[in-house]
Structure 1
Amino acid sequence: MNAVSRPDLRRPDGQPVRVLVVDDEPTLAELVTLALRYEGWDVRSALDGATAVRTAREFKPDAVVLDVMLPDFDGIEVLRRLRAESDNLPVLFLTAKDSVEDRIAGLTAGGDDYVTKPFSVEEVVLRLRALMRRTGVSEAGNDATLVVGDLTLDEDTREVHRAGVEITLTATEFELLRFLMRNPRRVLSKTQILDRVWNYDFGGQANIVELYISYLRKKIDAGREPMIHTMRGAGYALKPAG
């Protein structure tokens, strides 16, 4: 997959956008959370309504991705409680229900948009961007550079440098490095990397990840203090050298 670089959304204070993801399916919540972190956003997740309300009070998100069906109380009640404290908070509903009545109920309750399951993660990202632009979150347009330690990656020019030395990467190596740099210090599993960098089922051939990690190491870490680390049994993490 050759991902298309888009301008970063930023809060008015220049900090990354904060998004709260609420869904009682852990795998789905993790998938959406990971995709939004790939956008460079600060993301928290919750698996039930009570945790969602508590997390929102502490985290103060700029937007919420909210499942309608939750194990304690439903998403519409979560929305009511959130809006009592932040009446302009953008909310994107997720639901397995697709009837007109359910759509109307969610939007009438104050939801800003509505996506039915199954959905593409890309659709969720695009709709969230649209919602947040309407509420004043700005695009950082000209700043498309990722920096981790002495490693820099320009998403517009697709140039990579370490300690000022230019490094030439293939398209896939670039996407893999970008994913690692958008999640510094975070341990990323082979499955997560396959999903975001290749974007399709590789039939369990996670060794393709090992292969490309080895390619990156030869270019990024060769003759230098290593930045790409293997977490045995867990995955890989990119950390500043030193």
Structure 2
Amino acid sequence: MNKIKILYAEDDETLAYLTKDNLEQSGYSIFHFSDGNSCLENFKKENFDICIFDIMMPKMDGFELATEIRKINTDIPIIFLSAKTLKEDKLKGLRLGADDYLVKPFSIEELILKIEVFLKRSNKNLIKQNHQYSIGKYNFDSDNYLVFNDDEKINLTQRESELLKLFLDNKNIVLKREEILKSLWGDDDYFMGRSLDVFISRLRKILANENGIAIENLHGIGFKFKLEL
């Protein structure tokens, strides 16, 4: 599984070194920049899983940086780390789209806990990075939304492909219904739940003739993709 990539902006060299070192020891891949402009430029080039920003930085402060990030990506978690303790500053950060605000000096253990909470919420730990799969007589290409073999090609929608990938990455494991919905849609409301049922019905039809494969419905809980091949 690929490492979680964290975009980190902090102009205090000592604090940045200590924070980066602790996070890397916890298994994260840290991309550190000392000003907002450099941070934003690299955000445009790379895919990150979470952002951690200081507020008072040269060239572009953390508030401006978060504003620009939100124009590009409305979902990525953003955590502010700042010496600014006024309630007004915290509220401003949250209104700009930050998910949390920790005041310096902060506990590295608390920061790591916050990171884990937001990654779990966005299901970054749930979705792994495989792209090619074998399912009985079929192959599955998740990048191209395609289930195929030598005789047949079945095109999936993006959501169907994401759902099948999620099941295969977690085969023989119970996935709660709300976990699936939040992973694919970011929410678990009624209408998305109805869409999920439609997609599962379609996947069942595609795999109906495959012995040893089943999508088991656990009433009131969720689903299990059973693979006994």
Confirm or deny that 1:41 pairs with 2:28: yes
The CA distance in 1 between the partners of 2:18 and 2:41, in whole Å, is 22
1:48-197 matches, cutoff 5 A: 48-138=35-125
Alpha-carbon shift at residue 89 of structure 1 (Å)? 0.9
> How far is 1:106 from its partner?
0.5
Identical amino acids, percent of aligned pairs: 31
- SS at the partner of 2:63? helix
Structure 1 runs, 4 residues or longer, greater than 6 Å off:
none
Letter of the aligned partner of 2:89 in structure 1? Answer: D
- Rounded to whole Å, the distance in 1 between the matches of 2:24 and 2:44 is 20
One-letter amino acid of the counterpart of residue 15, structure 1: N
Aligned to 2:48, what secondary structure does the other structure show? coil
How far apart in 2 are the matches of 1:25 and 1:39? 21
SS of 2:110 mapped into structure 1: helix
Distance 2:88 2:7 in 1: 26
Whether the 8 Å CA contact 1:46–1:55 is kept in 2: the answer is no
User: Matches of 2:13 and 2:98 in 1, distance apart?
Assistant: 22
Q: CA deviation at 1:93?
A: 0.2
In structure 1, what is the Cα distance between the partners aligned to 2:36 and 2:82?
14
Q: CA deviation at 1:58?
A: 2.1
- 1:139 CA drift (Å): 5.8
Matched ranges for 1:205-220 at <5 A: none
Structure 2 counterpart of 1:73, which letter? M
Q: Does 1:16 align with 2:3?
A: yes
Q: Is the 8 A contact 1:18 1:61 kept in 2?
A: yes
Match of 1:166 in 2: none
Alignment partners' CA distance in 1, 2:71 and 2:122? 18
- The CA RMSD measured in Å over matched residues stands at 1.4
Q: Structure 1 residues 67, 17: CA separation in 2 closer, same or farther (over 3 Å shift)?
A: same
Contact 1:21 1:64 in 2 (8 A): yes
One-letter code aligned to 1:137: K
Deviation at 1:110, TM superposition (A): 0.5
CA positional deviation for 1:120: 1.3
Distance in 2 between residues matched to 1:54 and 1:81, nearest whole Å: 10
Letter paired with 1:86: N
Name the CA distance, whole Å, in 1 between partners of 2:44 and 2:125. Answer: 23
* Alpha-carbon distance in 2 for matches of 1:42, 1:24: 19
Larger RCO (alpha carbons 8 Å, 6+ apart): 1
Structure number with larger C-alpha Rg: 2
Unaligned runs of 5+ in 1: 1-13, 141-242
